[in-house]
Amino acid sequence: MTERGSEQRVSEHDVTDFYRMNDLLTERERDVRERVRTFCDKEVTPIINDYWERAEFPFELVPKLAELGVAGGTIEGDGCPGLSPVATGLIAMELARADGSVCTFFGVHSGLAMQSIALLGSEEQKRRWLPAMARMDKIGAFALTEPEHGSDAVALETRARRDGDCYVLDGAKRWIGNASFADLVIVWARDEAGKVGGFVVEKGTPGFNASVMTGKIAKRAVWQAEITLEGVRVPVANRLAGANGFGDTAKVLAATRFGVAWEAVGHAMAAYESALSHAKQREQFGAPIASYQLVQHKLATMLAEITAMQLICLRLSQLAGSGQMTDGMSSLAKMHNAAKARRVVADARDILGGIGILLENHVARHQADMEAVFTYEGTDSIQSLIVGREITGVSAFTRKA
Ligand SMILES: Cc1cc2nc3c(=O)[nH]c(=O)nc-3n(C[C@H](O)[C@H](O)[C@H](O)COP(=O)(O)OP(=O)(O)OC[C@H]3O[C@@H](n4cnc5c(N)ncnc54)[C@H](O)[C@@H]3O)c2cc1C
């Protein structure tokens, strides 16, 4: 049997673009992807293991990320870049390919926090907060999850009581990314009428306390906080004008969930690239391990999963761009990609053998980080129930008692 001609082989640069997704991108999307990839290769990958090991947040990267001019993603106006959903997804993919913590930091700020304001804020509120957030002069956080309410965040217990020109917030939040240093934390709380609203708590507001959670085995270089809110007075003008029920919160989650699906692809790509390169170099039994059928089968399966994930993301983002994306569609992508990427990073770790657990080989960190991706912004099971509700018309997760 003859070897394939070199011109038919996938180039080194394209090892994770087997179906040439690149050809389907617009020039602007390609440009954004290249800019973010270059930034990641130069600024993130060389320094991140140390931050991850020490569980420190790389503040030095924030002004450099700001220079990319991509914060705000699809948001148009108010200083935001107005990118396509595909470009926004590619940013998440490239950031995750370098590092999951940086991707999560950016996703919380540019996705969850900025989109809450863009989707639910009044024109005045958008003008007030978005330009500084787009420049990353002000960093945002999104505080929904509570100690007693994760998957059933719809039952959140944090209260917002009207008192003159203010709302007074009382309650507790958990797992809130960026909240220990954010300038704006969007706190989701229930008002006296029982409606869930989004309240922008600005840095330094008395009664707001955030402490960094420690002891994590995933996403170690980004900080999540436990928050207590005790008599936190927030001006009425800081209640997002369009947030008048949990359905509005859910709109933000649905709009940003496709980014998590792209993030999973980035983790899988990074791990696969390391595994492929290692398999070609590492010799056992007198030959590169890449020459063994079992290893090739693993690599081929990993690449098939990555290719499927990429195509799902691309199509989903196109549907988002044309206004056709449903909750079930974005949940299906998150569910599928997180599960498949979790498997890919585990197989990559296996292919590296013992050194797969060393941070310096850039696989263990991705494997650990994928555990968080599998769970956050809606667990695997909850995503499947959102898909299930859409395809059967029956909700399997309405609150019991
Ligand atoms: C690294 C990280 C960052 C995060 N960042 C943020 C953030 O910035 N802001 C924020 O608000 N939140 C954040 N979260 C919280 C995250 O969204 C929640 O962890 C997630 O929604 C799951 O909630 P939980 O951890 O309370 O798990 P639980 O809801 O307690 O779930 C535990 C298990 O029960 C299953 N389960 C629950 N209900 C059902 C059901 N009806 N049927 C079948 N199975 C069910 C789940 O699938 C899961 O397997 C973050 C979490 C992590 C780990």
Total domains in the fold of the chain: 3
Torsion angles phi and psi, residue 170, rounded to 5: -140, 135
Kindly state if the Cβ of 219 falls inside 6 Å of ligand 1. Answer: yes
pLDDT at 13: 53
Residue located nearest, by CA, to atom 53 of ligand 1:
372
Q: How remote is the CA of residue 347 from the centroid of ligand 1, in Å?
A: 25
Q: What is the pLDDT of residue 3?
A: 44
Q: Are residues 233 and 251 in the same domain?
A: no
Same domain, 171 and 197: yes
> Domain limits at 259?
247-392
Local structure of residue 178 (DSSP, 8 states):
T
Q: Using the atom order of ligand 1, give the atom closest to the CA of residue 141.
A: 8
pLDDT of 398 reads: 78
pLDDT tens, 27-40?
999 999 999 999 99
103 burial type by CB count under 10 A (0-12 exposed, 13-18 middle, 19+ buried): buried
Looking at the structure, tell me whether residues 220 and 267 fall in a common domain. no
What residue type is assigned to position 53 of the chain?
E
Distance 372 CA to ligand 1 centre (A): 9
Ligand 1 near 39 CB (within 6 A) = no
Q: What is the pTM of this model?
A: 0.96
CB 87 within 8 A of CB 317: no
In whole angstroms, give the CA distance from residue 290 to residue 302. 14
Determine the pLDDT at residue 365. Answer: 98
Give me the count of residues in the chain: 401
Question: Does residue 142 have its Cβ closer than 6 Å to ligand 1?
Answer: yes
Same domain, 251 and 384: yes
Q: Catalogue the E-assigned strands of 55-118.
A: 76-77, 80-81
C-alpha pair distances (Å), 70 with each of 55, 59, 88, 91, 113: 26, 17, 8, 8, 14
At 284 the pLDDT is: 98
Mean pLDDT by 10 residues, the chain (401 residues): 43 80 96 97 98 98 98 98 98 98 98 98 98 98 98 97 98 98 98 98 98 98 98 98 97 93 98 98 98 98 98 97 96 98 98 98 98 97 97 88 58
Any domain includes 398: no
Cβ proximity of 279 and 299 under 8 Å: yes
Which pLDDT belongs to residue 14?
Answer: 80
> Does residue 225 sit in the same domain as residue 257?
no
How far away, in angstroms, is 99 Cα from ligand 1 center? 21
Residue 202 CB contacts under 8 Å (≥ 6 apart), including other chains: 183, 184, 238
Atom of ligand 1 nearest to the CA of 142: 9
Q: What is the pLDDT of residues 23-80, one digit of tens each?
A: 999 999 999 999 999 999 999 999 999 999 999 999 999 999 999 999 999 999 999 9
- Looking up residue 238, the CATH number of its domain turns out to be 2.40.110.10
Last residue of a domain, one of 100, 134, 168: 134
